[in-house]
Amino acid sequence: MKRRWVPALVLLMVSGCGVTAVSETSVALKEFSVTPVADRLKAGTVDLSVSNSGEFSHTLVVSDSAGTVVAATALIRPGDTSSLSIDLQPGAYVFTCRIVGQSDSGEIIDHYERGMVARIDVSS
């Protein structure tokens, strides 16, 4: 039995499945993840709707490939949403939460080190 759909599936995967860059997206924050709906953004003004579904407060920090912070939200409390509009040039960016706290037992909790990071590509 021949499976003719396999080459077509491989072709779709190689071609990027028609994923296009967008100029607005939602970003979900929670312990310990940053999850953008789209990971390819269009250069220019980008509008982000950032929601916190976690049990602790978080922030969204946008940095370029050199590590320079280009934008950040204020503290977003659990259950709240914040908007962030930024001008992005083509390139690679990182979305993170940079909060560092301490547990009741004295353990340092760094949200970034615990996985609150997502990589984003911006194209023209």
Q: Is 96 contained in some domain?
A: yes
Q: Is 22 contained in some domain?
A: no
Asked whether residue 108 carries a pLDDT value surpassing 70, the answer given is: yes
Q: Is 117 contained in some domain?
A: yes
Amino acid at 89: Q
Q: Is 20 contained in some domain?
A: no
CATH number, domain at 71?
Answer: 2.60.40.420
Asked whether residue 1 carries a pLDDT value surpassing 50, the answer given is: no
Range of the domain at 71: 28-123
Q: Is 12 contained in some domain?
A: no
Amino acid at 54: G
Q: Find the length of the chain.
A: 124
Of 101, 102, 91, 95, give the one whose Cα is nearest residue 116.
95
pLDDT for res 9: 40
pLDDT for res 12: 41
pLDDT for res 19: 66
Overall number of domains in the chain: 1
Q: Is 18 contained in some domain?
A: no
Q: Is 77 contained in some domain?
A: yes
DSSP secondary structure code for residue 5 in this structure: H
pLDDT tens per residue, range 2-47: 444 444 443 344 444 556 899 999 999 999 999 999 999 999 999 9
pLDDT tens per residue, range 62-71: 999 999 999 9
Instruction: Characterize the bridge pairing of strands 33-36 and 24-30.
Output: antiparallel
Q: Is 17 contained in some domain?
A: no
pLDDT for res 20: 86
- Across the chain, what does the average pLDDT equal? 89
